Structure 1
Amino acid sequence: MRLQSALSRLLASAASLAALTVPVAAQPSVRAFTGATLIDGNGDTPIANATLLVRDGRIVAAGPAARVTIPANAERVALAGKVIIPGLINAHGHASSVVNLRTYAAYGVTTVYSLGDETPDVFAARDAQRTAAPSHARVYVAGPVLNPSSPDDARAQVAAVADRKVDIVKIRVDDNLGTSPKMKPEIYRAVIDAAHARGLRVAVHLYYLDDAKDLLAAGADYVAHSVRDQPVDAAFTQAMLRANVCYSPTLMREVSTYVYESTPAFFKDSLFLAHANREWMATAQQPARQEATRTSVSAQRYKAQLPVAMRNVKALHQAGVPIAMGTDTGPVGRFQGYFELMEIEMMVDAGLTPTQALQSATRDAARCLKIDGDVGTLAAGKAADFVVLDASPLERISNIRRQHSVWIGGVRMVSLPQ
C-alpha cells in the first residue's frame, strides 16, 4: 500500500509538472503582441493599442502600434481589449524546487529572489537561465540562511556560500517573539563585513526597530521584512535613505501566521484553486490546527502587529524609501504565486496607489535586487517577461488576478482561469 501511495503521489506530481510546463522547442523567433494596452512599469501613461515586438526572448520594441514596424515573418498574437504588464517579481520568496518556480510563474510571478535554503535543482535552474529563457520563473539564490556561532564561524560560513556562487547572503536577527536566541551584533557584523569583502550583499530577516537601526549601521544591504514592533522613526527612515537600502514588507507573511484560525475566503477563489497545494489546504482546514492557531500567542501577536507593519510601509514609501514587493512564500501555508497577488493588494490597502504597488512588484523590485538591466520594465533589450490581464490593475488593483496569460522569454507558460 505504501508503494502504491508513493507511486500515486509521484504520478500526480508528474502530471502537475506537465500541466505547468510549456515546451520551448519550435517556438517562433519573432512575435508581435498587438492591440493591448501596455503598462511598461515606469509609471508612464498606459499606451493604448500598443505593439510589443519580441525576438528570441527579448523585447525589440514596445510602444504605440503606429511606431512599431512588425516584420513580415512575425507571428502575430492579437490581444485587443487586454492589458500587458511586466512580469511580477517576488523580492523575498523561498524556492525549494523547480516545481515551485513553475507554480510562481502560473500566477504571473516571473522572477523570484529566493532568500534561503534552495535545493540543488534550483541552483541549476539559476545557472541555466543565464544562457536560455527558462520554462518557469527566473530565480536568484541565497543558499543556506547563515546562523554562525562566532565571528570566526561567520567568516567561514560566508566563504562557504560564496564558493557556491550565491547572489546574496541571508541572515536572521530575530528572537521569534522572545522564544529563541537572537544573533549577536558582533556576529552579524562579521557576516556583513565578510560578505562585503567578497562582493556580496546581505539581506536581513528582522522584527524590531532597534535591530533594524543597528543592522543598517553595520552595513546591511536589504531589509527583508517589515519593522513590526513599533512605528518607524525619522532616524531609521533617514538611515535607510542615506544608505539607499530597500525594504520588503512581506505583509502576507504576517497574514499566514493567523489566517488559518478559520478557513480563509480565498480557498474558494478559482484562480487560487488552479494551482494551490492541496495538502497544505487540507492541513489548514483541520479543526485541531485551526484551534491551535486561534489560541497561539505568537499568531495573535503577529495579527495584532500587522497594522503597525502596514503603517510603516506607507510611512517609508512616502519618505522615498524604495519598496520591493516580497512575501516570504515557500513554507507550508504560504502559497507561492497567489500570495504575491494578495501582497500587492495589501500594499494598496496600506496606502500605496495601484501604480505604486505595481511598480514595487516590477521596476522597483528589479532595481532593489540589481537585476533591472534584464527585468522589471517592458523596454527594448529587456527579457520578454510579462503578464496579460483582462482589465487594468491601475483602475482596480484586484484586476491583478484577472490573468489571461503569462509569458517568460516570449514563451507562454500557462493559461489561467478567467
Structure 2
Amino acid sequence: IDEAHKNGVRVTAHIFNLSDGKGLLRAGLDSFAHGVRDTDIDEEFMALVKEHPQVVLGPNLPGRGVPIDLSWVSDTVPAADLQKLQAASVNDPEAQKAFGIQARNLAKLSAAGMTIVLGTDGNTPYGPHLEMEDMVAAGMTPHQVLVAATKNSAEYMRLADLGTVAAGKSADFIVLDANPLDDIKNTRRINTVYMRGTAVDRAALRTGWATATN
C-alpha cells in the first residue's frame, strides 16, 4: 500500500474477514470491495474507520436469498434466460444469513458517515438496480443510495464531469416515470436516457437485444 501511494496509485482490497479489514485499515487502504463478510464488525473496526475517514466502501452486497421478480428485465433478457434466472430465485437460508451480516455492517458504517459507493461485483447489466434495492434493504435511505450511486462513485473514480447535474458537466442522466426517493425500485421505471445531451434510442437497443444470439 505504501509503495502504491508513493506512485500516486490508490489501493482497493477485496476482503472477507474482519481481521483482514482491520489490518488493511491500519495499513492505509483507500477502499474496500465488499465489506466484512464473516462476522459483525466490532468497536475496534469502527474506531479504525473513524481514524481513516478517507476510506471508501463499495458494499457489493450478496443476493438476499429471497425470491425476486425479474419480469421488469423482460425487454432486454431473452425469455429462456429470464426463465432460468427466475427459477433460480428461491428462498435460501444460507444466503439470507450472509446478507444479514453484510447488511448490518453496511448500516453501521453508513450511519457512522463512511463514504459509500455503488458496485455490483459482476457484469449483469441490471445489477445496479438490484444492488440499490439491497442497500435500502440494509438500512440506507433511498437518498443515501442515490448519492452513493452517482456523486460518491464519480468522485471516487475522479470523473469530475459526471455524478451530478451541473453547468459544465457531461449531460449524462436518466428521466424516470416515478420518484426513486419514494421507492428505490423506481430507478427501473426509465422514461428516457440521455448521454452527452442526446436521447438514447432505447427501442433500437431493445430490438438488438431481442435478435442477439450467443
Counterpart selection for 2:63 from 255, 259, 267 = 255
1:279 CA drift (Å): 7.0
> Where does structure 2 lack aligned partners over 5 or more consecutive residues?
207-214
**What aligned pairs does 1:264-343 form with structure 2 within 5 A after superposition?**
264-269=67-72, 272-276=73-77, 281=82, 284=85, 301-330=94-123, 335-336=124-125, 338-343=126-131
Which gives a bigger RCO, structure 1 or 2 (Cα 8 Å, sep 6+)? 1
SS in 2 for 1:404: strand
d(CA) in 1 for partners of 2:12, 2:74: 32
d(CA) in 2 for partners of 1:227, 1:203: 14
1:381 CA drift (Å): 1.4
| Structure 2 residue 24 is matched with structure 1 residue 238 | no
Q: Which moved more, 1:312-321 or 1:349-358?
A: 349-358
d(CA) in 1 for partners of 2:131, 2:201: 22
Work out which of the two has the higher radius of gyration on C-alpha atoms and give 1 or 2.
1
| Structure 2 residue 187 is matched with structure 1 residue 382 | no
2:9 maps to a residue whose letter is L
Aligned residues: 202
SS in 1 for 2:46: helix
**Alpha-carbon contact 1:229-1:308 (below 8 Å) kept:** yes
**What aligned pairs does 1:74-85 form with structure 2 within 5 A after superposition?**
none
Deviations 1:167-213 (A, max 9, x none): xxxxxxxxxxxxxxxxxxxxxxxxx2332232111111111111111
In structure 2, what is the equivalent of residue 7 of structure 1? none
d(CA) in 1 for partners of 2:78, 2:122: 12
2:74 maps to a residue whose letter is L
SS in 1 for 2:21: helix
**Alpha-carbon contact 1:240-1:246 (below 8 Å) kept:** no
**Alpha-carbon contact 2:13-2:32 (below 8 Å) kept:** yes
In structure 1, what is the equivalent of residue 200 of structure 2? 413
1:280 CA drift (Å): 5.1
Q: Which has the higher strand share?
A: 1
Deviations 1:311-332 (A, max 9, x none): 11111011010111111122xx
d(CA) in 2 for partners of 1:285, 1:388: 28
d(CA) in 1 for partners of 2:81, 2:35: 25
d(CA) in 2 for partners of 1:242, 1:279: 50
**What aligned pairs does 1:24-43 form with structure 2 within 5 A after superposition?**
none
2:63 maps to a residue whose letter is V
Distance 1:278 1:220, change over 3 A: farther
Deviations 1:355-411 (A, max 9, x none): 11111111122223332x211111111111101001111122221111001112112
**Alpha-carbon contact 2:69-2:86 (below 8 Å) kept:** no
Deviations 1:46-72 (A, max 9, x none): xxxxxxxxxxxxxxxxxxxxxxxxxxx
d(CA) in 2 for partners of 1:388, 1:349: 24
**What aligned pairs does 1:19-418 form with structure 2 within 5 A after superposition?**
192-243=1-52, 244-251=54-61, 254-255=62-63, 264-269=67-72, 272-276=73-77, 281=82, 284=85, 301-330=94-123, 335-336=124-125, 338-371=126-159, 373-415=160-202
In structure 1, what is the equivalent of residue 209 of structure 2? none
Deviations 1:21-64 (A, max 9, x none): xxxxxxxxxxxxxxxxxxxxxxxxxxxxxxxxxxxxxxxxxxxx
2:138 maps to a residue whose letter is A
TM-score by length of 2: 0.82
Deviations 1:75-100 (A, max 9, x none): xxxxxxxxxxxxxxxxxxxxxxxxxx
**Alpha-carbon contact 1:237-1:321 (below 8 Å) kept:** no
TM-score by length of 1: 0.44
**Alpha-carbon contact 2:74-2:82 (below 8 Å) kept:** no
Distance 1:321 1:277, change over 3 A: farther
**Alpha-carbon contact 1:375-1:382 (below 8 Å) kept:** yes
Task: Quote the RMSD (CA, aligned, Å).
Answer: 2.6
d(CA) in 1 for partners of 2:43, 2:158: 26
Distance 1:391 1:284, change over 3 A: closer
